[in-house]
Amino acid sequence: MLKKFVQYFLFFRKPDAGLVSYSTFPNNNLCLAIYKENKIEYTSDSKSNHCIVSKDSSSFKSRLFGFHKMPFHVNVHSALDQICILFEPAALTAFTNESYQDLLSADHVFDIFGRNSHFLLEEIFDDEDLFKRAEKLEHILMSNLKIRQPEKLKEALDFISTGSDHLTIDMLAKKLGISPPTLFRLFKYNVGLNPKSYINTNRFRNILNEILQRKQALTSVAHANLYYDQAHFIKDFKAFSGYSPKQLINKISIEQNNLAWIYQNKNHR
Cα 72 from Cα 42, distance rounded (Å): 10
Judge contact between 46 and 23, C-beta under 8 A. Answer: no
Structure confidence at residue 165 as a pLDDT band (50, 70, 90): low
Q: Is 66 exposed, middle or buried (0-12, 13-18, 19+ CB in 10 A)?
A: buried
- Whether 269 shows a pLDDT value over 60: the answer reads no
Question: CB neighbours (10 Å) of residue 218?
Answer: 20
- Whether 266 shows a pLDDT value over 50: the answer reads no
Write down the pLDDT at residue 218.
87
Mean pLDDT of 11-17: 93
Beta bridge pairs of residue 6: 87
- Whether 116 shows a pLDDT value over 70: the answer reads yes
Task: Mean pLDDT check: name the lowest of 80-89, 131-140, 144-153.
Answer: 144-153
Judge contact between 246 and 222, C-beta under 8 A. Answer: no
- Whether 237 shows a pLDDT value over 50: the answer reads yes
Cα 191 from Cα 107, distance rounded (Å): 20
- Whether 240 shows a pLDDT value over 90: the answer reads yes
Structure confidence at residue 268 as a pLDDT band (50, 70, 90): very low
Structure confidence at residue 255 as a pLDDT band (50, 70, 90): low
3-class SS shares of the chain: helix, strand, coil, % to 5:
45, 25, 30
Task: Mean pLDDT check: name the lowest of 38-42, 125-129, 246-250, 256-260.
Answer: 256-260
200 — phi, psi (to 5°)?
-65, -40
Cα 34 from Cα 124, distance rounded (Å): 11
Q: Please give the torsion angle defined by the CA atoms of residues 92, 97, 103 and 106, in that order, rounded to the nearest 10 degrees.
A: -130
- Whether 94 shows a pLDDT value over 70: the answer reads yes
